Amino acid sequence: MIARALFIFSVLLISPTTLATTLPKVELVHFENQTKISTEDLKGKVLYLDFWASWCKPCRKSFPFMNQLHTDYQGKDFAVVAINMDEFPDDAKTFLSQLPAQFDVFTEPGNTLAEQLEVPGLPVAYIIDKKGNIAARHIGFNDRKKQKKIKQINYLLEQ
C-alpha cells in the first residue's frame, strides 16, 4: 500500500502552488477544418495536451510518440490534443505535411491558454485527468521520459 502511494506521488508530479491546477476554459480552433471547441468539452477524457511549433526540433521527435499514443489508446477515454504556437499557419502546414498528425491539432487565438498555463517553452505536454485537473507537466521531449508519461496516462485511465 505504501509502495503504491509512493508510486502515485512520483507519477503525479505537478506542484499546485506553481501552476494552474485545472485546465482553464478557452476556445480552441481545429487546425484543418476551423471548427471550434471549448476545453470544457474535453472533460471526461484523459488528455495529453501538447504545445508545439514548426521551428522546434524536439517537437519533431514528439510527433511519432503522440501518434503512437493516439493509436494505442484509441477507443479509451483518452485524447491527444496538440496546440500549434506558430505565428504563421503556413509554417505549421509544412511541418504537418512532413510529419502528419493522427490526432487533433488546434490553434488557440490569443494564446491565453499558454499564458494561463505558464508554458515555459516548447514542446511542453500536460497530462490532464478526466475531471480537467492537471496531473503532470513535461517540459521538452526525450525518449527517456516516454515510459513515465505512459505510466501516468495508464494510472489516470484506471481512475
What percent of the chain is predicted at pLDDT more than 90?
84
* 25 pLDDT more than 80: yes
Instruction: Say which amino acid occupies 41.
Output: D
Q: In the sheet where 46-52 sits, what is the strand order?
A: 36-38, 27-30, 104-107, 78-84, 46-52, 124-128, 134-139
The average pLDDT across 104-133 equals 95
Cis previous bond, 123, omega within 30: yes
What CA–CA distance (Å, rounded) separates 87 from 99?
19
Structure pTM? 0.87
The average pLDDT across 18-33 equals 87
Domains of the chain: 2-158 (3.40.30.10)
* 11 pLDDT more than 70: no
The pLDDT tens digits for 38-94 are: 999 999 999 999 999 999 999 999 999 999 999 999 999 999 999 999 999 999 999
Q: Taking the CA atoms of 102, 106, 111 and 116 in sequence, report the sign of the dihedral they define.
A: negative
